[in-house]
A and B are shown apart, each in its own frame.
Chain A
Amino acid sequence: MADSGQLALINAEIDGELDAAQRAELARTLLADTKARELRDGLRRLCQTLDAVPLLDPPAGLQESILAAMPQIAPRPGRRLADRPSVTAWKHASTITAWRYAALLAGILVAGGVMFQLVRGPTPQPTELAGTIALDPAATLVDTAHIASGPVSGHVSLYRDRAELTLRFEVTASTPIDARVSSEGHILQILGVTRGGGGVSDSGAPGVPAAAALPGVAMHGQDITVTFISDGHPIGSATLRAPGSP
């Protein structure tokens, strides 16, 4: 068995870190000690084999799945990103733990297919949760995004309804689709944007767009990201621009 000095010299040689004096010392050792020579040859072979292992390509779609799972990360003044809601919890937003406001929201849900659940973000005032289901005819269109990403297609539009923003979904999908809406760390989960087989309204009637109010979402020109979720996995997204201050 080589001593620690020999072992250090052999490893340093493998790493190309020997100076002339050390190289000479190692050479003398290897000439005189068969065991040390065997150890050096074995370690060199081992390291050469390890070094030859190529990096494998990551699974297809890894980048897309990471970006789709990312929350809105634009910082708010005076608030550090590290203080923001945990993306780990975001990743598992479908779990009961992440839906910590579900019980609070349950009381304000009305009959229909659209339901809000606050998943993350600042704790809203109860009045902020009383979002309308039916779109007010007086609401004005702010922005529209086209969606054509595999299982989901159509349009999602952003309306301003007095001092509140509302999303209107005109989308079709082959499977039931939920949506996550994120804006500056404020995140809403909207269930039942479609139920599969086509667009479903708040009344459940095919062809009538679903609408969802966005309580607590600011209006100062920031991006609002809508991520469509099927069976717990992101399948597409759209970004809308909020209006400036009302």
Chain B
Amino acid sequence: MKEDDDGVLVQQCRSGDRTACGKLVLRYQKPVFNAALRMLRNVEDARDVAQTTFLKAFEHLADYDATRKFYSWLYRIALNESLDALGARKAFEPISGDEEDATPGPEQCAEGDQLSRAIDQALARIKPEYRAVITLRHFMHLSYQDMGDILMLPEKTVKSRLYEARQLLREDLVLRGAT
């Protein structure tokens, strides 16, 4: 096992080695932040969720099952925190998907690409559980097995949910003449 493998870093972190904890943060802050960003579509909220995710992970490091992938466990915390944040936000500002959001979305890849912009807005209109599978599969490029670990669902269920999510996105785009 390499010195900087997640398992080694987690073990060192459990022993109070802050440098090891720092390495884990450095390694995973980007995907954790992006997962939260795609779920919440707001940079500040995503930053807060990313911070809370790592603090909770370090707090509960003793509960982490070392036979599982560390990042799956971490991303699960990030998604749960994001869903909590969405739930807290829901009463105050329901997302219609039509408003301008603060998330640099697909349009960043191809400036002016209407399909990309439409997809970003359509993502905001689908349910969070569908947004979660799209985020894990297409933005974080995870396998179905990893997605199942994170979502605590059988792979078959993950697949069918992802297929539904893709279909919903496409129907939304068709409905709005964006394809």
Contact = CB atoms under 8 A, between A and B. Distances in A.
Nearest to A63: B25
Q: Which 9 residue pairs are nearest across A and B when measured between Cβ atoms?
A: A74-B16, A50-B138, A81-B62, A58-B33, A87-B55, A87-B59, A80-B62, A55-B34, A11-B163
Contacts of A51: 138, 141
Given A62-B33, A65-B51, A67-B18, 18 more contacts: A7-B163, A42-B179, A50-B106, A52-B109, A56-B30, A56-B33, A56-B34, A59-B43, A62-B51, A69-B55, A73-B13, A73-B21, A81-B60, A82-B62, A88-B52, A88-B55, A88-B59, A223-B16
B80 interface: no
Instruction: Using C-beta atoms within 8 Å of the partner chain, give the interface range for chain B.
Output: 35 or more
B175 interface: no
A227 to B, nearest CB: 12
Interface residues of A, number: 43
A87 B18 CA distance: 15
A54 B134 CA distance: 14
B115 interface: yes
Interface in B27-58: 29-31, 33-34, 37, 43, 47, 50-52, 54-56, 58
A87 B58 contact: yes
Contacts of B47: 58-59, 62
A127 interface: no
